[in-house]
Amino acid sequence: MAKNCVFHIDANSAYLSWEASFRLQQGDSLDLRTVPAVVGGDPSTRHGIVLAKSISAKKFNIQTGETLYSACQKCPGLIIVPPNYTLYRQCSDAMVEILQEYSPLVQRFSVDECFLDFSGMELCFKDPIKTAYEVKDRIKNELGFTVNIGISTNKLLAKMAGELKKPDMVHTIFPEEVPAKMWPLPIEELFMVGRATSKKLRSRGIRTIGELANFDLKLIKLFLKSHGVLIWNYANGLDYSPVRKGGSLEVKGMGNSTTIPFDVEDRRNAHLVILSLVESVSARLRQASLLARLVSISFRTNEFYSSSHQRKLFNATDCTDEIWEIACKLFDGLWDNQPLRHMGLRVSELCQNDFYQTSLFGKNFAKRRKVDNTIDVIRDKFGSSAIFRSAFLYSGLHSITGGVIENEDYPMMTSLL
């Protein structure tokens, strides 16, 4: 066994699996993993996107990221479950607690993925492969959901190994196994090769990871620059990024976006869409005990023209009305009356809310923050639709939109190459 040993642990269909496990523990007789089911959006209006899907849903060609409306067209009997981010964080934390029993170096890669540095831990535990099976089975038996574990000498190969076959599996791709296990895979399977990069590679006859690995690096650099060097190294199984200890999810920002079911052509409806996004984002800020110091707004027209704008705040806030007013001002200064089909809002530069600085010169939102907290309590107890603003009556818009934690909220794997 090589000196360096890295595990990549990935929860299978995380959101849906965690929902299923929780519901079974609460006495529900239906296991969502055994039927066509998805997590995402609003089940009552079928607005939003698919965040996670069951294996049965995959048989209907339902894709992560597609609209709920499209998914329901493919499978009329599809079960839709709204996301529960508090539950997902608890499940993620529980998984990390088990992993930390096997190594002091555990790095979160996302809410459902971790790297574990097992180098030298053979002195305390069994053979790494046997230990991986033990970890996998403990998570399954103690927490009620399954994971895939990939094993190799670096993070890149461990992650690629974990993706080979799912669910509930342990795989290895050690350097000597790269030609047999990784090179035959389609180029799209390589980490950091997205749709645009894949198109450029395929246009030059590079269809598999092996063809990229054996391609002339000088030619790769001509049309992919430094990113080409990165993926060429990855194709050859080279990665020197260390497993960095990180026991908590450091949220850097929160954001929501929505595709609107009709063209928004007037300012009032546009402001309502922004409000529906702010309602969700600000509630998540308060739930996480965070304040935001930067507000960003974005939109895309029906002709796919995109624009965005942001503003730094004098005082950090989690107040719904305050964030909404700022977002509306940003929007008004950016919009040229084009019909809109997609809008997004993001808050970042977050800080803890244990010290709140009120403004001496602006509006005092202290009373509105108290109202926000009261509304949060009501919605937590009776559901998100228990109380909403009258402005949404007969508007055709949902009063709370989105809720997706964006990928950049979590640290990405970095390479020194």
Distance (Å, whole) CA 387 – CA 102: 46
Q: Which amino acid is at 369?
A: R
Catalytic site positions = 113
Report yes or no: 359 and 238 within 8 Å, Cβ to Cβ. no
Q: Tell me which H or E stretch contains 282.
A: helix 267-287
Distance (Å, whole) CA 311 – CA 295: 5
Distance (Å, whole) CA 270 – CA 263: 10
Report yes or no: 328 and 278 within 8 Å, Cβ to Cβ. no
Distance (Å, whole) CA 276 – CA 399: 5
Three-state DSSP class for residue 302 = coil
Phi, psi (rounded to 5 degrees) for 17: -65, -40
Q: Which amino acid is at 197?
A: T
What is the full DSSP assignment across 354-402?
A: SS-PPPSSS---HHHHHHHHHHHHHHHHH-TTSS--GGGTTSSS-SS--
User: Residue 316: which of 362, 272, 279, 276 has the closest Cα?
Assistant: 362
Q: How many residues does the chain have?
A: 417
